[in-house]
């Protein structure tokens, strides 16, 4: 009768790799390292793309604000130009309320 002999699978695999599979083990470790580096680079690339998108959105907001400020500046300069022409060419002056009240008394 044949006796049931149990084999330790882990020790068999380790012995085979140590004796016959040094190149295979080295290639396996290189492939594993390469896969981890691909994962790391992909993660960093996606992070950088997200930062870039946020910066582009911020740039668009700032561009819109800049355009609004330019329009406001043009409108305000337009009114100051009218005021300057009224004072210089037409000799118009602001009314002083204190003097106006004294005249009516």
- Residues 5-52 pLDDT 10s: 788 899 998 888 888 888 888 899 999 999 999 999 999 999 999 999
Q: What is the pTM of this model?
A: 0.53
Cβ–Cβ contacts within 10 Å for residue 46, how many? Answer: 10
80 confidence band (pLDDT: 50, 70, 90): confident
Q: Which two tokens stand for residue 8?
A: 């330790």
**Pick from 16, 34, 35, 36: which is nearest to 25 by CA?**
16
pLDDT of 61 strictly over 90: yes
92 confidence band (pLDDT: 50, 70, 90): confident
């Amino acid at each position: 009768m044949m006796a049931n002999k149990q084999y330790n699978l882990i020790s068999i695999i380790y012995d085979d790799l140590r004796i016959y599979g040094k190149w295979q083990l080295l290639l396996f470790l290189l492939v594993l390292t390469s896969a981890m580096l691909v994962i790391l680079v992909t993660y960093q690339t996606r992070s950088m793309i997200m930062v870039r998108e946020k910066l582009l959105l911020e740039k668009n907001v700032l561009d819109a604000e800049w355009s609004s400020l330019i329009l406001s500046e043009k409108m305000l300069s337009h009114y100051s130009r009218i005021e300057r022409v009224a004072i210089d060419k037409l000799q118009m002056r602001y009314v002083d309320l204190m003097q106006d009240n004294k005249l009516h008394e």
